[in-house]
Protein backbone atom coordinates (compact mmCIF):
# COMPACT_ATOMS: atom_id res chain seq x y z
CA UNK A 1 0.00 0.00 0.00
CA UNK A 2 2.92 2.32 0.74
CA UNK A 3 4.26 1.89 -2.80
CA UNK A 4 0.82 2.64 -4.22
CA UNK A 5 0.55 5.78 -2.09
CA UNK A 6 4.00 6.95 -3.14
CA UNK A 7 3.22 6.34 -6.80
CA UNK A 8 0.24 8.67 -6.56
CA UNK A 9 2.20 11.60 -5.15
CA UNK A 10 2.88 12.65 -8.73
CA UNK A 11 -0.75 13.49 -9.44
CA UNK A 12 -0.88 16.07 -6.68
CA UNK A 13 1.96 18.17 -8.10
CA UNK A 14 1.76 17.49 -11.85
CA UNK A 15 -0.09 20.55 -13.09
CA UNK A 16 -0.04 19.30 -16.71
CA UNK A 17 -2.81 16.78 -16.00
CA UNK A 18 -5.83 18.78 -17.04
CA UNK A 19 -8.29 15.96 -17.41
CA UNK A 20 -10.09 13.57 -15.08
CA UNK A 21 -9.24 9.92 -15.53
CA UNK A 22 -11.34 6.85 -14.82
CA UNK A 23 -9.16 5.10 -12.27
CA UNK A 24 -9.67 2.01 -10.07
CA UNK A 25 -10.91 2.39 -6.47
CA UNK A 26 -7.50 1.54 -4.99
CA UNK A 27 -5.94 4.43 -6.89
CA UNK A 28 -8.69 6.86 -5.88
CA UNK A 29 -8.35 5.86 -2.22
CA UNK A 30 -4.58 6.35 -2.47
CA UNK A 31 -5.08 9.83 -3.92
CA UNK A 32 -7.44 10.73 -1.09
CA UNK A 33 -4.86 9.47 1.42
CA UNK A 34 -2.17 11.59 -0.23
CA UNK A 35 -4.40 14.65 0.07
CA UNK A 36 -5.08 13.98 3.74
CA UNK A 37 -1.44 13.24 4.58
CA UNK A 38 -0.30 16.38 2.77
CA UNK A 39 -2.80 18.47 4.73
CA UNK A 40 -1.84 16.89 8.08
CA UNK A 41 1.87 17.27 7.39
CA UNK A 42 1.49 21.03 7.05
CA UNK A 43 -0.67 21.19 10.18
CA UNK A 44 2.01 19.29 12.10
CA UNK A 45 4.87 21.48 10.90
CA UNK A 46 6.83 23.77 13.22
CA UNK A 47 4.82 26.66 11.79
CA UNK A 48 1.42 25.01 11.32
CA UNK A 49 -0.95 26.36 8.71
CA UNK A 50 -3.93 25.35 6.63
CA UNK A 51 -2.63 24.50 3.18
CA UNK A 52 -3.99 25.98 -0.01
CA UNK A 53 -5.37 23.71 -2.71
CA UNK A 54 -3.97 23.82 -6.27
CA UNK A 55 -6.99 23.52 -8.56
CA UNK A 56 -7.42 23.63 -12.31
CA UNK A 57 -9.41 26.77 -13.05
CA UNK A 58 -12.94 25.96 -14.20
CA UNK A 59 -13.49 29.30 -15.89
CA UNK A 60 -14.22 30.36 -19.44
CA UNK A 61 -10.87 32.16 -19.56
CA UNK A 62 -9.10 28.83 -18.92
CA UNK A 63 -11.11 26.86 -21.48
CA UNK A 64 -10.06 25.94 -24.99
CA UNK A 65 -11.50 24.02 -27.93
CA UNK A 66 -9.73 20.87 -29.04
CA UNK A 67 -10.14 19.98 -32.73
CA UNK A 68 -9.50 16.40 -33.79
CA UNK A 69 -6.84 15.90 -36.43
CA UNK A 70 -8.34 12.75 -37.92
CA UNK A 71 -12.00 13.34 -37.07
CA UNK A 72 -14.52 16.19 -37.06
CA UNK A 73 -14.94 15.85 -33.30
CA UNK A 74 -14.30 18.95 -31.20
CA UNK A 75 -14.65 19.34 -27.46
CA UNK A 76 -14.08 21.77 -24.62
CA UNK A 77 -11.07 21.22 -22.40
CA UNK A 78 -9.30 23.10 -19.62
CA UNK A 79 -5.72 24.24 -20.01
CA UNK A 80 -3.08 23.97 -17.30
CA UNK A 81 -3.84 27.27 -15.61
CA UNK A 82 -3.93 26.61 -11.88
CA UNK A 83 -5.56 28.74 -9.22
CA UNK A 84 -4.38 28.47 -5.64
CA UNK A 85 -7.44 28.56 -3.42
CA UNK A 86 -6.73 30.06 -0.02
CA UNK A 87 -8.83 28.46 2.69
CA UNK A 88 -8.16 31.23 5.19
CA UNK A 89 -10.60 33.66 3.63
CA UNK A 90 -13.74 34.62 5.57
CA UNK A 91 -16.68 32.25 5.01
CA UNK A 92 -14.47 29.67 3.24
CA UNK A 93 -14.30 27.25 6.17
CA UNK A 94 -17.69 25.59 5.70
CA UNK A 95 -17.11 24.92 2.01
CA UNK A 96 -13.69 23.53 2.89
CA UNK A 97 -15.16 21.09 5.44
CA UNK A 98 -17.82 19.97 2.94
CA UNK A 99 -15.19 18.88 0.44
CA UNK A 100 -13.32 16.83 3.03
CA UNK A 101 -16.61 15.34 4.24
CA UNK A 102 -17.58 14.25 0.73
CA UNK A 103 -14.06 12.89 0.26
CA UNK A 104 -14.38 10.89 3.48
CA UNK A 105 -17.74 9.48 2.41
CA UNK A 106 -16.42 8.56 -1.05
CA UNK A 107 -13.47 6.82 0.58
CA UNK A 108 -15.80 4.68 2.71
CA UNK A 109 -18.00 3.87 -0.31
CA UNK A 110 -14.99 2.74 -2.36
CA UNK A 111 -13.64 0.76 0.58
CA UNK A 112 -16.91 -1.22 0.66
CA UNK A 113 -16.76 -1.64 -3.15
CA UNK A 114 -20.14 0.04 -3.55
CA UNK A 115 -21.58 2.84 -5.65
CA UNK A 116 -24.23 5.41 -4.79
CA UNK A 117 -26.31 7.96 -6.66
CA UNK A 118 -25.96 11.63 -5.79
CA UNK A 119 -29.29 11.48 -3.98
CA UNK A 120 -28.17 8.50 -1.89
CA UNK A 121 -24.97 10.35 -1.08
CA UNK A 122 -27.04 13.34 0.01
CA UNK A 123 -29.00 11.28 2.54
CA UNK A 124 -25.82 9.70 3.89
CA UNK A 125 -24.29 13.13 4.39
CA UNK A 126 -27.51 14.54 5.80
CA UNK A 127 -27.58 11.83 8.49
CA UNK A 128 -23.90 12.25 9.27
CA UNK A 129 -23.51 16.06 9.06
CA UNK A 130 -26.89 17.81 8.74
CA UNK A 131 -25.39 21.21 9.63
CA UNK A 132 -23.11 21.04 6.57
CA UNK A 133 -25.62 19.87 3.95
CA UNK A 134 -29.02 21.51 4.42
CA UNK A 135 -30.07 20.69 0.84
CA UNK A 136 -29.13 18.29 -1.96
CA UNK A 137 -28.02 21.27 -4.04
CA UNK A 138 -25.11 21.78 -1.65
CA UNK A 139 -24.02 18.15 -2.15
CA UNK A 140 -24.23 18.43 -5.94
CA UNK A 141 -22.19 21.63 -5.87
CA UNK A 142 -19.50 19.92 -3.82
CA UNK A 143 -19.31 16.89 -6.11
CA UNK A 144 -19.36 18.90 -9.31
CA UNK A 145 -16.84 21.33 -7.96
CA UNK A 146 -18.99 24.45 -7.84
CA UNK A 147 -19.15 25.63 -4.25
CA UNK A 148 -20.38 29.05 -3.22
CA UNK A 149 -17.40 31.46 -3.00
CA UNK A 150 -14.68 28.80 -2.56
CA UNK A 151 -15.42 26.87 -5.79
CA UNK A 152 -13.41 23.92 -4.56
CA UNK A 153 -13.29 21.26 -7.26
CA UNK A 154 -13.13 17.75 -5.87
CA UNK A 155 -12.75 16.22 -9.32
CA UNK A 156 -9.92 18.62 -10.20
CA UNK A 157 -8.23 18.05 -6.85
CA UNK A 158 -8.13 14.26 -7.19
CA UNK A 159 -7.91 14.31 -11.01
CA UNK A 160 -10.42 11.49 -11.39
CA UNK A 161 -13.96 11.34 -12.73
CA UNK A 162 -17.00 11.52 -10.49
CA UNK A 163 -17.76 7.94 -11.42
CA UNK A 164 -14.33 6.91 -10.11
CA UNK A 165 -15.35 8.44 -6.78
CA UNK A 166 -18.13 5.85 -6.54
CA UNK A 167 -20.87 8.27 -7.53
CA UNK A 168 -23.30 7.09 -10.20
CA UNK A 169 -24.84 9.55 -12.63
CA UNK A 170 -28.50 10.41 -12.23
CA UNK A 171 -30.08 9.63 -15.58
CA UNK A 172 -33.18 11.09 -17.21
CA UNK A 173 -32.37 9.56 -20.56
CA UNK A 174 -34.52 7.32 -22.76
CA UNK A 175 -33.64 5.47 -25.96
CA UNK A 176 -35.69 3.78 -28.67
CA UNK A 177 -35.27 2.51 -32.20
CA UNK A 178 -33.03 0.23 -34.22
CA UNK A 179 -30.63 -0.71 -31.45
CA UNK A 180 -30.11 -3.91 -29.46
CA UNK A 181 -28.22 -3.59 -26.17
CA UNK A 182 -26.97 -6.48 -24.08
CA UNK A 183 -25.33 -6.47 -20.68
CA UNK A 184 -22.76 -9.24 -20.12
CA UNK A 185 -24.57 -12.37 -18.94
CA UNK A 186 -28.07 -10.92 -19.42
CA UNK A 187 -30.77 -10.99 -22.07
CA UNK A 188 -30.56 -8.50 -24.90
CA UNK A 189 -32.87 -5.46 -24.94
CA UNK A 190 -34.46 -4.61 -28.29
CA UNK A 191 -35.07 -0.85 -28.18
CA UNK A 192 -37.52 -1.07 -31.10
CA UNK A 193 -40.14 -2.87 -28.98
CA UNK A 194 -40.02 -0.68 -25.86
CA UNK A 195 -43.17 1.27 -26.75
CA UNK A 196 -43.60 5.03 -26.55
CA UNK A 197 -41.77 5.23 -23.22
CA UNK A 198 -38.53 3.87 -24.67
CA UNK A 199 -35.80 2.13 -22.67
CA UNK A 200 -34.41 3.91 -19.61
CA UNK A 201 -30.72 4.80 -19.76
CA UNK A 202 -28.83 3.41 -16.77
CA UNK A 203 -26.84 5.76 -14.56
CA UNK A 204 -24.10 3.14 -14.13
CA UNK A 205 -21.39 4.28 -16.53
CA UNK A 206 -19.41 1.07 -16.03
CA UNK A 207 -22.42 -0.93 -17.19
CA UNK A 208 -22.95 1.36 -20.19
CA UNK A 209 -19.31 0.95 -21.16
CA UNK A 210 -19.65 -2.86 -21.16
CA UNK A 211 -22.80 -3.02 -23.31
CA UNK A 212 -22.67 -5.11 -26.46
CA UNK A 213 -24.38 -3.03 -29.14
CA UNK A 214 -25.95 -4.04 -32.45
CA UNK A 215 -27.79 -1.72 -34.81
CA UNK A 216 -29.11 -1.51 -38.36
CA UNK A 217 -29.87 2.21 -38.18
CA UNK A 218 -28.77 4.91 -40.61
CA UNK A 219 -29.06 7.85 -38.21
CA UNK A 220 -28.85 8.70 -34.52
CA UNK A 221 -31.35 11.42 -33.60
CA UNK A 222 -31.21 13.41 -30.36
CA UNK A 223 -34.68 14.71 -29.44
CA UNK A 224 -34.81 17.58 -26.96
CA UNK A 225 -38.44 17.29 -25.92
CA UNK A 226 -39.71 14.20 -24.10
CA UNK A 227 -43.19 14.58 -25.62
CA UNK A 228 -41.76 14.63 -29.15
CA UNK A 229 -39.65 11.58 -28.37
CA UNK A 230 -42.75 9.73 -27.13
CA UNK A 231 -44.70 10.64 -30.25
CA UNK A 232 -41.91 9.53 -32.58
CA UNK A 233 -41.47 6.27 -30.65
CA UNK A 234 -45.23 5.63 -30.59
CA UNK A 235 -45.46 6.21 -34.35
CA UNK A 236 -42.43 3.96 -34.83
CA UNK A 237 -40.64 6.68 -36.76
CA UNK A 238 -37.53 4.50 -36.72
CA UNK A 239 -39.29 1.89 -38.87
CA UNK A 240 -39.81 4.42 -41.66
CA UNK A 241 -36.39 6.04 -41.30
CA UNK A 242 -33.97 3.52 -39.76
CA UNK A 243 -32.74 5.42 -36.74
CA UNK A 244 -31.92 5.41 -33.04
CA UNK A 245 -33.83 7.99 -30.98
CA UNK A 246 -32.40 9.30 -27.72
CA UNK A 247 -33.58 12.02 -25.33
CA UNK A 248 -32.36 13.51 -22.06
CA UNK A 249 -35.67 15.36 -21.58
CA UNK A 250 -33.94 18.72 -21.93
CA UNK A 251 -30.38 19.54 -20.90
CA UNK A 252 -28.31 16.36 -21.21
CA UNK A 253 -27.25 14.44 -18.13
CA UNK A 254 -23.92 12.67 -17.92
CA UNK A 255 -25.27 9.13 -18.42
CA UNK A 256 -27.19 10.03 -21.59
CA UNK A 257 -24.15 11.81 -23.02
CA UNK A 258 -21.95 8.83 -22.13
CA UNK A 259 -24.29 6.35 -23.87
CA UNK A 260 -24.52 8.57 -26.96
CA UNK A 261 -20.73 8.74 -27.11
CA UNK A 262 -20.55 4.97 -26.61
CA UNK A 263 -22.96 4.38 -29.52
CA UNK A 264 -21.07 6.82 -31.73
CA UNK A 265 -17.84 4.93 -31.05
CA UNK A 266 -19.50 1.60 -31.85
CA UNK A 267 -21.02 2.96 -35.08
CA UNK A 268 -18.72 5.80 -36.23
CA UNK A 269 -20.36 6.05 -39.67
CA UNK A 270 -23.81 6.94 -38.29
CA UNK A 271 -24.48 10.70 -38.43
CA UNK A 272 -25.77 12.20 -35.18
CA UNK A 273 -28.55 14.77 -35.63
CA UNK A 274 -30.03 16.97 -32.90
CA UNK A 275 -33.68 18.02 -33.12
CA UNK A 276 -33.97 20.93 -30.69
CA UNK A 277 -36.24 23.93 -30.19
CA UNK A 278 -35.62 27.13 -32.12
CA UNK A 279 -34.58 29.10 -29.04
CA UNK A 280 -31.38 29.80 -27.08
CA UNK A 281 -31.95 26.85 -24.75
CA UNK A 282 -32.22 24.51 -27.73
CA UNK A 283 -28.92 25.79 -29.12
CA UNK A 284 -27.31 25.45 -25.69
CA UNK A 285 -28.47 21.82 -25.48
CA UNK A 286 -27.03 21.12 -28.93
CA UNK A 287 -23.71 22.72 -27.94
CA UNK A 288 -23.52 20.67 -24.73
CA UNK A 289 -23.96 17.41 -26.63
CA UNK A 290 -21.47 18.52 -29.27
CA UNK A 291 -18.71 20.21 -27.26
CA UNK A 292 -19.32 19.51 -23.58
CA UNK A 293 -19.18 22.33 -21.05
CA UNK A 294 -16.63 24.40 -19.17
CA UNK A 295 -18.07 23.11 -15.89
CA UNK A 296 -17.13 19.58 -16.94
CA UNK A 297 -14.04 20.58 -18.89
CA UNK A 298 -11.95 17.91 -17.19
CA UNK A 299 -14.25 15.18 -18.55
CA UNK A 300 -15.76 16.65 -21.74
CA UNK A 301 -13.56 14.59 -24.06
CA UNK A 302 -15.28 11.47 -22.74
CA UNK A 303 -18.79 12.61 -23.72
CA UNK A 304 -18.50 14.91 -26.75
CA UNK A 305 -19.96 13.76 -30.09
CA UNK A 306 -19.93 15.15 -33.62
CA UNK A 307 -23.54 16.35 -33.56
CA UNK A 308 -25.21 18.05 -36.53
CA UNK A 309 -28.04 20.56 -36.21
CA UNK A 310 -31.40 19.25 -37.44
CA UNK A 311 -34.36 21.60 -37.55
CA UNK A 312 -35.33 25.18 -38.22
CA UNK A 313 -33.03 27.82 -39.64
CA UNK A 314 -33.55 31.55 -39.93
CA UNK A 315 -34.68 31.35 -43.56
CA UNK A 316 -37.53 28.99 -42.52
CA UNK A 317 -39.19 31.54 -40.23
CA UNK A 318 -41.19 33.45 -42.89
CA UNK A 319 -43.08 30.25 -43.63
CA UNK A 320 -44.41 30.02 -40.05
CA UNK A 321 -47.61 31.71 -38.81
CA UNK A 322 -47.28 34.44 -36.18
CA UNK A 323 -48.98 32.32 -33.52
CA UNK A 324 -46.08 29.87 -33.70
CA UNK A 325 -43.76 32.36 -31.99
CA UNK A 326 -43.38 32.77 -28.23
CA UNK A 327 -41.68 35.83 -26.69
CA UNK A 328 -38.23 35.15 -25.26
CA UNK A 329 -37.95 35.29 -21.49
CA UNK A 330 -35.16 37.00 -19.57
CA UNK A 331 -33.43 33.65 -19.06
CA UNK A 332 -33.56 32.98 -22.82
CA UNK A 333 -31.86 36.29 -23.55
CA UNK A 334 -29.19 35.56 -20.94
CA UNK A 335 -28.46 32.19 -22.57
CA UNK A 336 -28.29 33.83 -26.00
CA UNK A 337 -25.86 36.50 -24.82
CA UNK A 338 -23.73 33.85 -23.10
CA UNK A 339 -23.51 31.79 -26.30
CA UNK A 340 -22.72 34.82 -28.43
CA UNK A 341 -19.92 35.90 -26.08
CA UNK A 342 -18.37 32.43 -25.85
CA UNK A 343 -14.90 32.50 -27.41
CA UNK A 344 -14.99 28.71 -27.66
CA UNK A 345 -18.01 28.62 -29.96
CA UNK A 346 -16.79 31.50 -32.08
CA UNK A 347 -13.80 29.55 -33.40
CA UNK A 348 -15.51 27.61 -36.21
CA UNK A 349 -19.19 28.31 -35.74
CA UNK A 350 -19.41 32.09 -35.36
CA UNK A 351 -21.32 32.77 -38.59
CA UNK A 352 -24.04 30.16 -38.10
CA UNK A 353 -24.34 30.68 -34.36
CA UNK A 354 -24.40 34.47 -34.39
CA UNK A 355 -26.91 34.55 -37.25
CA UNK A 356 -29.25 32.16 -35.46
CA UNK A 357 -29.02 33.98 -32.13
CA UNK A 358 -29.38 37.40 -33.73
CA UNK A 359 -32.57 36.28 -35.50
CA UNK A 360 -33.89 34.87 -32.24
CA UNK A 361 -33.28 38.11 -30.37
CA UNK A 362 -34.65 40.30 -33.18
CA UNK A 363 -37.69 38.04 -33.53
CA UNK A 364 -38.52 38.77 -29.92
Among residues 19, 75, 107, 123, the one annotated as catalytic is: 123
Does residue 259 contact residue 173 with C-beta atoms inside 8 Å? Answer: yes
Specify burial of residue 224 (Cβ count, 10 A radius: 0-12, 13-18, 19+).
buried
Beta bridge partners of 214: 180
What is the spatial distance between Cα 219 and Cα 34, in angstroms, rounded to a whole number?
Answer: 47
Q: 123 an active-site residue?
A: yes
By the 8 A CB rule, do 21 and 14 touch? no
**Closest-CA residue to 295 (of 175, 144, 194, 185):** 144
β-strand partners of 275: 223, 310
**Is the distance from CB of 118 to CB of 105 less than 8 angstroms?**
no
Count of positions (residues) in the chain = 364
Residues annotated as catalytic (active site), given as ranges: 123
Amino acid sequence: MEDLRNSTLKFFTDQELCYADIVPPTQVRARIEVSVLSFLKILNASNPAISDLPLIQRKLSNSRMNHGLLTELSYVFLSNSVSIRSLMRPNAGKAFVRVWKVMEMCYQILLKEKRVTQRELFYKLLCDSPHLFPSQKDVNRTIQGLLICAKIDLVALLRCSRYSLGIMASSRGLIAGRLIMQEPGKEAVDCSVCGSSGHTVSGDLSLLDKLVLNADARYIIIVEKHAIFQRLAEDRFFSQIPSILITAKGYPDMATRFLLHRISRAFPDLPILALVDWNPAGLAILCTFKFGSVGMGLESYRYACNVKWLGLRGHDLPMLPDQSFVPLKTKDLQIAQSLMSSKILQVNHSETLNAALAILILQD
